[in-house]
Structure formats: structure tokens, C-alpha cells
Amino acid sequence: MKLYWCPRTRASRAVWMLEEAGVDYERVFIDVRDPVARADTGFLAASPMGKVPALEDGDARLADSAAICLYVADRYAPGSLAPAPDDPERGRFLYWMFFAPGSMEPAMAEKMGGWQPNRGAHGWGDFDTMTRTLEEALSEGPWLLGDRFTAADVMVGSTAAFMKMFDILPESDRIGGYVERCLERPAYRRAQELDAAG
């Protein structure tokens, strides 16, 4: 399996996910800031938009961190990092998997860009509704599906860690504690070390 990767990007999520799943993979560095490197044909076959992360696994090629995390969990850790399709928790799992790209990331852009919130018109709601929803979801914890850590925590936890990095994490012991639990996971730490090593 090849992971097209660049340090200090969303590719760190995919590394975290692969480390959680404990599968063998090779990291292939693509400097996304360099148009020549981004034109690599193998990379573009997996990532039509020329963005990292992207994954090549046998004949399977895909990009986008949420798609990659779901693919790896379903393919390599079914029933543990991803509830099976007939598991009653599958629905809740899918909701939180897509909460990160569908609501958290655009709401972060709203906040950091100073956009006018427009909850009814914007698909992501607004920043305050997004953070309140996340806080409510963590009322039982320690993870989004209670005692069960899943790929949804990789997506939501990594996005909340980005919020912390950008200094827009809301004052909330519940969300703050969740982020700390994510940062303490051995697989997250390995991903950070790999990121730092380059």
C-alpha cells in the first residue's frame, strides 16, 4: 500500500489511521507546494485534484482523508475501527465520520475567515452549532461511540487537534479532554513522529 503524503498536512490523519490499523504501508512524499511534484502521474491517478493524502492499494486508488480512513477501517479493521454494516452503531459511526469534512472543516473556515454565519443556508450550520453538537456527542465518552474508539475519532479528533493548533478550540473541558485523549494515543504519537521526521 502506498500513501501519498506531505508533512504538516491533512495526510497526518491518514498516517494516524494506518498506524491504528497496524497495516504495512509505504509513505511516498509529494511536495504539494511544488506544481512539478504534484503532476506525478501515479499520484494524480489516486488524487484527481492533486491533493494529499491519497492511497494506492493494489488496484484501489482513492484520495480524501475521510474516504481513506473509511476504506482502511472497513478493509483492514472491520468490526473494530469501523462497525460492520449490520451493526446498529454503523449509522452513528457514519454520521461522525462525515461530520469532520462536512461540518467541522467548513465551520472552521467560517470562523477563521470571519464569514457571516448563516446556519439555514450553509450546509455546515455554523461554528457555534458545530461545536455545541460535538460537545453534546461527547457527553458519555470517552469516544464518540462511547467506549469504542473508531475511525470516526481519527477524523473528528484530528480535526479538533487542528482547531487547537489554530487556537479556535472552544472553552470546553469535554472537547479539550477528548482532544488530549486523542493526542495520547500511541498511533497518533507515531504519526506525529513520522510527520516531524519527514
Q: Does 50 bind ligand GSH (CB under 6 A)?
A: yes
Q: Which is nearer to ligand GSH, 84 or 109 (CB)?
A: 109
Closest by CA to 174, choosing from 127, 126, 136, is 136
Of 48-56, 82-90, 118-126, 131-139, the segment contacting ligand GSH by CB under 6 A is: 48-56
The 72-91 contact track toward ligand GSH, x by CB under 6 A, reads --------------------
Unique residue bearing C-alpha cell 497496524: 22
CB of 70 to ligand GSH, least distance (A): 12
Closest by CA to 28, choosing from 51, 8, 64, 2, is 2
Question: Would you say 154 and 16 are in contact if contact means Cβ atoms under 8 Å apart?
Answer: yes
Residues 168 and 64: their CA atoms lie apart, in Å, by 23
CB of 64 to ligand GSH, least distance (A): 4
Residues 6 or more apart whose CB falls under 8 angstroms from that of 111 comprise 127, 168
Task: Figure out which of the listed residues 15, 17, 21, 32 binds ligand GSH, where binding follows CB under 6 A.
Answer: 32
CB of 98 to ligand GSH, least distance (A): 11
Task: Figure out which of the listed residues 19, 57, 64, 153 binds ligand GSH, where binding follows CB under 6 A.
Answer: 64
Question: Would you say 3 and 18 are in contact if contact means Cβ atoms under 8 Å apart?
Answer: yes
Task: Figure out which of the listed residues 3, 20, 21, 51 binds ligand GSH, where binding follows CB under 6 A.
Answer: 51
Q: Which is nearer to ligand GSH, 53 or 157 (CB)?
A: 53
88-to-33, 93, 96, 141, 145 alpha-carbon distances in Å: 42, 9, 14, 18, 11
Residues 133-192 that bind ligand GSH (CB under 6 A): none
